[in-house]
Structure 1
Amino acid sequence: MDTKVTAGRVFLSGTVEKDYTWEHISPQHIIVFIYSGEMTLSYGKSTLDFVTGDTVLVPKNQLIRVFKKPVDGEPFKAVSMFLPEEELRKFYQNRMVLENLDEGMAKQRPIKSHPLLASFFSSLFSYFDMQNELPDSLVPIKIQEALTIIDEVDKRASAILGTFSEIGKIDLEKYMEEHFMYNLPLERFAFLTGRSLTTFKSDFKKTFKTTPGKWLTEKRLNLAHHKLASEKQKATDVYHSVGFENLSHFSFAFKKAFGVSPRNIN
C-alpha cells in the first residue's frame, strides 16, 4: 500500500481499461492531471469525483481509497507528478503561503481546472511518446513550472503544498470513526494519528474501552451487514470496501458474528 518515494517523478499512469480501486498513502504530495476517464478519491467518509481535464491534489500522509474508471470507451489515463519536499521548499521560500490550512481543505478541491494547467500537462505528451517517465534532469524543471502555474490559478493549494509540519497527535476517536474501513496495520493507524504504536494502543483502550483489533472487526462487520441487508450489495463487492483483505476471511468472521453467511443475507 505504501509508496516509498524519495525523489520527484513525473510519469504517465498506465492506462486503465476497466474499473480499478486500491488504498493508498503517499509520503509525498502528488499532482494528477486526468487526460481521460474518471477518478474518485475517498477520504474516510468524504468522497470527491474528478473527470477529464481536472487537476487533482493528493496530499501526503492522507489515507485514501482511489477508484479509476474508463468512460465512453476511453481508458483512464493520467499524468502523475510526485512533489519532493526539497522542490516545494525551494518554490515557496519567497512566496506567500495561505495560513488557513485546516483538516478539511485536503478533502475539498484545492486546485480548480484551468486552461493553463491543461496546456502544461498536454505538452508533456511529446516526452511520453518516447518513454513513460520524464528524464531525471527534466523533473525539477517541470515541477517548478507546474507549481508556478498552480500558484497563479489557485492560491488555496499553497496552504497544503507550502506547509511542512510533521503529523501531530490528532483526535483519535474522530479519525478512527472516519477511517476504520481501511485495511491498515495498527502501526499505520498509529502513525497517521501522530502516535507511537504503544501510545496508540493505550489511547485507544482509554477512548473505546476495548482493543483496536476487536473494535475494528466489530465496526467493519456491522458496516458490512448494513451494506448487505439494507443496500442489497453483494458479498464480493462489500468485503474490501469495509476493510477485509480477502473474501474467505470476511465470510468466516461474518458468519461467526451473525450466524449466517454473508451470501445468505436477505
Structure 2
Amino acid sequence: MSIENIPEIYLKKDEPIQDLFVYDFKMTNDVVKSKVNLSMNMFSFLQVGKKQVHFADASVIVNKEQSLLIRKGNWLWTELLDNDDIYYCKLLFFSEVRLKAFLEKYVNKEKGLKDEIPFFVIENDAYIASYLDSLSKMSLMPSNFNDNLLSVKFEEIMLYLITKYGEKFELYLYSLISKESSPLKKTIESHVYSNLKLEEIAFLCHMSLSTFKRNFIAEYKVSPGKWLQDKRLQRAKELIEKGDLKVSDIYLDFGYSNLSNFSIAFKNKFGISPTEIVK
C-alpha cells in the first residue's frame, strides 16, 4: 500500500505549499485504511459520507453531523460513501507557524497539557454550515483578495470554536505545537484488540515493518505476530465464553480474514474450537 502525502498530492506540479489553504475533496469510491502522511494540521469538515481515522494510540469515526481537527502525522484513513454514492469534505490546512501566531494574538498564555490526543471532534451546527458556505464562495474572488480573506476566515473559525468549546479547545490547540510523540508501547497496546495488521501499526509508529519488529522484540522479548495473536485470541475466548457474541460476529474484529483461519488458530492455542465453547 502506497503512502499518500497530504496536502502535497492536492497541489499542482511545482506549486509551493502555503501555510493556509482550502481544498475540496470529493470521491466516488470507498477507500479503506489508506496510509496518509499528513504534513500540516487539518480541519476536515465532512459534508457527505463517513470518515474513520486510526491514530497511533486512538481511533475516531464521524459522519456528516461532525467534523474533525487532526494533527499532522502518520495516520490510517477510511472514507466511506453515503447513500448519494459520493464522499465530500472541505479541508482547511494550516501550518504550525500560523497556529502559533493565532495563539499569541488571541490566547497568549501558557497551557499545561495533561494528555495529547491527535484529534478534536467538532459538532456541526448552523454557524459552521454558514462558514463553509462562505469558504465556497471565496473561490470566485481574485486570488490576492482571497489570500487575505482566508487569513481572516482562519481566525474566525478558531475564535468560534474557542467560544463553543472553551478551554478544552484551547488545550487541544496548544497540544498541536508540542514536540512529544507517542511511545512505541502506548501505540501498540492501544491497538491490541483492533483488526490492524502489523504493517499498519508500524506505520502509525512512524517505522518500517522491519524496524518495528526489531523494536517490538526489544520491548516485549517476543515477536509481535505471536504477542498480538495470543492477546487477541485470549480476548476472543473471553467474549465467546460470556455468550454475548457469536463466533461469526468477532473473527474479523481480531484481524482474521475468514472464520476458518480464526478457528484453526483458536484450536491451536486452547485445544478446542470456538464452537465447542459455545456448546
Q: Classify the TM-score, shorter chain.
A: 0.5 to 0.7
Pick from 168, 173, 188: which aligns with 2:203?
188
Bigger proportion of residues as helix: 2
Unpaired segments ≥5 residues, structure 1:
none
Give the aligned length.
Answer: 247
Give the letter for the 1:113 counterpart: N
Q: 2-side partners of 1:252 and 1:11: how far apart?
A: 43
Q: Is the 8 A contact 1:16 1:76 kept in 2?
A: yes
Q: 1-side partners of 2:198 and 2:147: how far apart?
A: 33
Bigger proportion of residues as strand: 2
How do 1:92-171 and structure 2 match up within 5 A? 92-96=103-107, 99-103=111-115, 105-106=117-118, 109=121, 111-126=122-137, 144-155=151-162, 156-162=168-174, 163-168=176-181, 170=183
Q: 2-side partners of 1:264 and 1:69: how far apart?
A: 39
Unpaired segments ≥5 residues, structure 2:
9-16, 163-167
Q: 1-side partners of 2:111 and 2:71: how far apart?
A: 17
Secondary structure, in 3 states, of the residue corresponding to 2:22? Answer: strand
Q: Does 1:213 align with 2:225?
A: yes
Change in 2 beyond 3 A, CA 1:168/1:35: closer
Q: Report deviation, 1:4.
A: 1.9
Change in 2 beyond 3 A, CA 1:84/1:25: same
Q: Does 1:232 align with 2:246?
A: yes
Q: 2-side partners of 1:3 and 1:35: how far apart?
A: 22
Q: 1-side partners of 2:116 and 2:179: how far apart?
A: 17
Q: Is the 8 A contact 1:33 1:55 kept in 2?
A: yes
Q: 2-side partners of 1:125 and 1:264: how far apart?
A: 59
Pick from 49, 56, 61: which aligns with 2:68?
56
Residue equivalent to 1:178: 190
Q: Report deviation, 1:24.
A: 4.8
Give the letter for the 1:147 counterpart: F
Identical positions, percent:
17
CA RMSD of aligned residues (A): 4.7
Compare 58-67 and 255-264 and name the one that shifted more.
Answer: 255-264
Give the letter for the 2:99 counterpart: L
**TM-score, with normalisation over the residues of structure 2?**
0.61
Q: Report deviation, 1:54.
A: 3.0
